[in-house]
Structures are given as structure tokens and as C-alpha cells.
């Protein structure tokens, strides 16, 4: 097991450094659509731009009354499951959007589960509006 070789504390630090691109605080879809230059500040201090056409694509598939509750970026949580990697979408609104926009609807214990080839389709369409989080 990876944790045994590195030690749990060292492994936790490694994963934390890998995930420094994740947002300090997420904005809502509504707020992002109102910005002249939509962006978010990540834990690494870098400001990441979000493409307006990606926000508009999301808005087409999310009910307007949900825009002020839909967090951006969409977080795709990658983890290993045996010999393969799977992606979890834990946010219910994000999962509902992905189901509407991409047609994926595999759930395990009320959490959307995707395979890497499915995540690639999402990342290709939402390159700036989605982020991959790594979990060990």
C-alpha cells in the first residue's frame, strides 16, 4: 500500500501539494456569468480564468433558479479502485448537470462514478470550468 511505504503524513502532504490548483473558494455560476473576466483564485495563489463559452454551456443544462447555487469549477475526484482509476462527482448539482449534458448516470451510494474515458469527454468540453482533484 502506498501509505505504508511513504508514511501517512508524507502521503497526505504529497496529495495536498498535487491539489494546490483547486480553488480557495468557489464562485456560483450566476456570479461567474456576471463577471467581465470569470476566474477563481486557487490554493497555490494563481488566478485561473474560466472560458465564458464553457459557463454558457453549463448554464444551458442547469435550471436558471439553480445558477446561484451551482459552484464553479466542477470538481472531478480521481481515485484508484484496485487496478483502475475512477472519478467521483460528489456534488449533487454537478452530477445532475453531467447527467443532462453528457448522458452519464452511473451512481454508487448516491455518488456519480465515472471512468477515465468519460472524464476525458467532460474535460475536453469544460477544460477551464472543471478541475481534477486527486485522492489516495
Distance (Å, rounded) from C-alpha 101 to C-alpha 61? 6
Predicted pLDDT at 12: 63
Predicted pLDDT at 127: 97
Per DSSP, the residues of 89-126 read E--HHHHHHHHHHH----EETTEEEEEHHHHHHHHHH-
Predicted pLDDT at 28: 98
Predicted pLDDT at 3: 47
Of residues 24 and 115, which shows the higher confidence score?
115
What global pTM score does this model have?
0.86
105 neighbors 96 (Cβ within 8 angstroms)? no
pLDDT digits (tens, 9 = 90+) for 18-76: 767 888 899 999 999 999 999 999 989 999 999 999 999 999 999 999 999 999 999 99
Bridge partners, residue 23, by sequence: 42
Judge whether residue 2 has pLDDT over 70: no
Residues near 103 by Cβ (< 8 Å), separated by ≥ 6? none
pLDDT digits (tens, 9 = 90+) for 65-95: 999 999 999 999 998 888 889 999 999 999 9
Place of cell 448516491: 110
Predicted pLDDT at 1: 47
Distance (Å, rounded) from C-alpha 128 to C-alpha 115? 20
Tell me the pLDDT band of 15, cut-offs 50, 70 and 90.
low
Judge whether residue 16 has pLDDT over 70: no
Amino acid at each position: 500500500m502506498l501509505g505504508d511505504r511513504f508514511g501517512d503524513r508524507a502521503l497526505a502532504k504529497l496529495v495536498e501539494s498535487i491539489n494546490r490548483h483547486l480553488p480557495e473558494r468557489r464562485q456560483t455560476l450566476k456570479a461567474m456569468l456576471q463577471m467581465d473576466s470569470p476566474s477563481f483564485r486557487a490554493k497555490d495563489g494563481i488566478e485561473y480564468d474560466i472560458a465564458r463559452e464553457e459557463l454558457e454551456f453549463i448554464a444551458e443544462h442547469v435550471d436558471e433558479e439553480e445558477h446561484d447555487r451551482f459552484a464553479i469549477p466542477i470538481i472531478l475526484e480521481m481515485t484508484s479502485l484496485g487496478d483502475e482509476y475512477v472519478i467521483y462527482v460528489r456534488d449533487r448539482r454537478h452530477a445532475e448537470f453531467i447527467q443532462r449534458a453528457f448522458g452519464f448516470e452511473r451512481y454508487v451510494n448516491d455518488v456519480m462514478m465515472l471512468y477515465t474515458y468519460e472524464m476525458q469527454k467532460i474535460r475536453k468540453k469544460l477544460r477551464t470550468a472543471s478541475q481534477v482533484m486527486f485522492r489516495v
